[in-house]
Amino acid sequence: MSEQRSWGHFDAGAREYVITDPRTPTPWMNYLFNDDYYCLISNTGGGYSFYKSARDYRLLRMRLNSVPFDRPGRYIYLRDAESGRYWSAGWAPVMPSLEEYRYRCRHGLGYTVIEGATDGIETQVTYAVAREEPVEVWACRITNTGKRARKLTVLPYA
């Protein structure tokens, strides 16, 4: 008998689905949208966006009539200037070992929050779509939890 694997759970109090293992069998998507702008975001920041028509006004790549790919997507890369080590705030696409990277994604109504931590740096990226304007909003918080000062380069990519 095979062992049953858990990728996350529903948090009824927060009304969120919490994903604790980024290695889900397929991308687990959240649909964020308003009347004109649509964003499908996976638990690792992948997915696609379009304005009014998925066929005519795609902003990020997608395959129509297929399981959504998780690449490319919305990624925030971080690089430590001292060590040269780099990683991404949402685990993918760098995908460091989960022994050295702490990960959590929360899909809620109208937002997705992806949290990560490695080597004394914690990140929290919130993705949302504005209610009335055709825009996607990313809010990134980076916290140094270590005892020494750090110099990081931060690079967003879509």
* DSSP 8-class letter at 73: B
Give mean pLDDT, residues 40-46.
92
Number of domains in the chain: 1
Q: What is the pLDDT of residues 87-112, one digit of tens each?
A: 999 889 999 898 889 999 999 999 99
3 occurs within a structural domain: no
pTM of the model as a whole: 0.90
Could you tell me the CATH number of the domain that includes residue 57? 2.70.98.40
65 occurs within a structural domain: yes
24 occurs within a structural domain: yes
What's the pLDDT score for residue 24?
92
CA-to-CA separations, 133 to 55, 81, 139, in angstroms, rounded: 20, 37, 17
Percent of the chain residues past pLDDT 90, beyond the cut: 71
What's the pLDDT score for residue 121?
96
Check pLDDT > 70 for residue 83: yes
What's the pLDDT score for residue 64?
54
Q: In terms of C-beta density within 10 A (0-12 exposed, 13-18 middle, 19 or more buried), how is residue 96 classed?
A: middle
Domain hosting residue 69, numbered range:
8-157
What's the pLDDT score for residue 68?
56
